[in-house]
Amino acid sequence: MAHQETDPSEGSLSIESDWGVQYVDGEWLDRGDRDGIEVVDPSTREPAATVPAGTSDDIDRAFEAAAAAQPEWADTPPHRRASVLRGFVDAVDDYFEDFVALLTAESGSTATKAKFEVMTAKGMAQEAASLPTRLSGEYRDSLIAGKDNQVKRVPAGVVAVITPWNFPLSLAVRAVAPALALGNAVVLKPAPATPVSGGLALARLFEESGLDPGLLNVVTGRDDEIGDPVSGHAEADVVAFTGSTEVGTRVGKRAVDSMALPALELGGNAPFVVLADADLDRAVDAAVYGTVYHSGQACISINRHLVHESLVDEYVDRLTDRLEALPAGSAHDEDTVVGPLVDERQRDSVLGFVEDTVDAGAALETGGEPVATEDLDADESLVVAPTVLSGVTNDMPAACDEHFGPVAPVIAFADDDEAVELANDTEYGLAAAVFGGDLGRAEGVADRVDAGMVHVNDQPINEEPHVPFGGTKASGIGRYNGEAALREFTEPKWVSVQREPRRYPF
């Protein structure tokens, strides 16, 4: 790759800027003879940008730069590392609207979702800025006279970060910011659909914040071409991945084969349990949000609505009425609530789950079809109408699979025990929610649900920068955020000091 004389995106973070670059060792390197990856706006299905298709050689250069820069950064005083993170927080504020526009153009984020995501990313960076001075160790008494035992936390080294397209900014910041704050260097591979908001724009902001060269390297590329070189690189000490369980299993195996720690946040199948004594108005309010936020393209979206049999008919009627009233269309329309799915493959997958579930005996109450927009007719549109399916059982396709769309399969249950049994009858264990009038009873049910995160009298789409985020079973390994990040991106080091002469037996 050739060197760019100036930052290619200088002046703004517009999707219309020249993003035909990688960011390695503090330099913007142009595409050269590399293939290009076309970024497509899901609302219009028109090209929005072109980025380089990185190669395994590019990945090697990025890891070499990271490994060379990391030791000095690890020895940098914590206040200096914190200052860089605070500068990044300020930069997110400065470019707030730019990021909103990027997320709309790349991931089809509606205005509400895009703004929430930028605010979430800012909060995560603020939390990360506090980590350098929160890193601490332990003193342990020794079994040997005159010896002190110190257990320190030291940076892991080089962190590989592989991020998805659905929340490209916040999920990149969630890993990159704490990794840097704790003295690591990072190689970031953003999703091919969202390489700017999930990667190159972050490099721009960290550069402005004074991050030293080599500590953050961003290589764009196709998953099938550079995914394995990133996840299995010999210089990686931690591999942080967010995405599907199928891909995450491969990533985790490659990381372990290279003796790197896998930090995996994978798929979900979130149950939304509505108990017999639930406030139905509040439950339906939460259900609407938890079903269609970002058109259901979240691993913690409601995937199954488990509703007590005494409430299920009214619940279905109310949910159907509410979802039919939501504005669906282009993400560029400020009034849109339900925007496009990311691409045609995702749209067809969601519609296939709906069709197969109806074929299996469920009733289609509303939705189940594409919605025409100002730019595209229904056949071309990636917007799927919010969908309600009644009479669903736990083994039907839209319920047992992670459908990843604005679809609400509703399953009736007879009592709390059956609700728990249904909720846990999945390979996943990421997020869940329980609605009930008696909080003690609802908390009791929540305690029996096998998931890493369970929310009582709320829906499952929640993330707070200081609270551990992650799942059980096939939903991943490890946790993100707050104190959990201290454990994921550092490792314990035992240092003993023999302060008095020690006698040995020979």
172 SS3 class:
helix
Report the distance separating Cα 197 and Cα 273, nearest Å: 34
Hunting for tokens 């999930």 — which residue is that?
Answer: 198
Instruction: Identify whether 299 is a catalytic site residue.
Output: yes
What one-character-per-residue DSSP string does 112-163 give? HHHHHHHHHHHHHHHHHHTSTTT---EEEE-SSTTEEEEEEEEE-SEEEEE-
180 SS3 class:
helix
Of residues 6, 29, 30, 26, the one with CA closest to residue 69: 26
Run of H or E including 81:
helix 78-94
Q: Which of 106, 235, 265, 463 is catalytic?
A: 265
Would you tell me the crossing angle of helices 111-129 and 168-181 to the nearest 10 degrees?
A: 10
Which structure tokens are listed for 380? 């071309």
Instruction: Say how far residue 178 (Cα) sits from the centre of its chain.
Output: 15
CB atoms within 10 A of CB 133: 13
Hunting for tokens 């902001």 — which residue is that?
Answer: 205
CB atoms within 10 A of CB 395: 9
Report the distance separating Cα 291 and Cα 272, nearest Å: 10
User: Considering all CA atoms of the chain, what is the largest pairwise distance in Å, rounded to the nearest integer?
Assistant: 86
* Residue 184 near residue 157, CB atoms below 8 Å: yes
Q: Which of 117, 127, 235, 299 is catalytic?
A: 299
* Residue 248 near residue 476, CB atoms below 8 Å: yes
Residues in the chain: 506
Long-range contacts of 32-41 (CB under 8 A, 24+ apart): 32/1, 32/2, 34/1, 37/192, 37/195, 37/220, 37/221, 37/222, 39/15, 39/105, 39/106, 39/192, 39/193, 39/194, 39/195, 39/196, 40/193, 40/343, 41/105, 41/106, 41/108
Instruction: Identify whether 365 is a catalytic site residue.
Output: no
Would you tell me the crossing angle of helices 78-94 and 168-181 to the nearest 10 degrees?
A: 160
Active-site positions read 265, 299
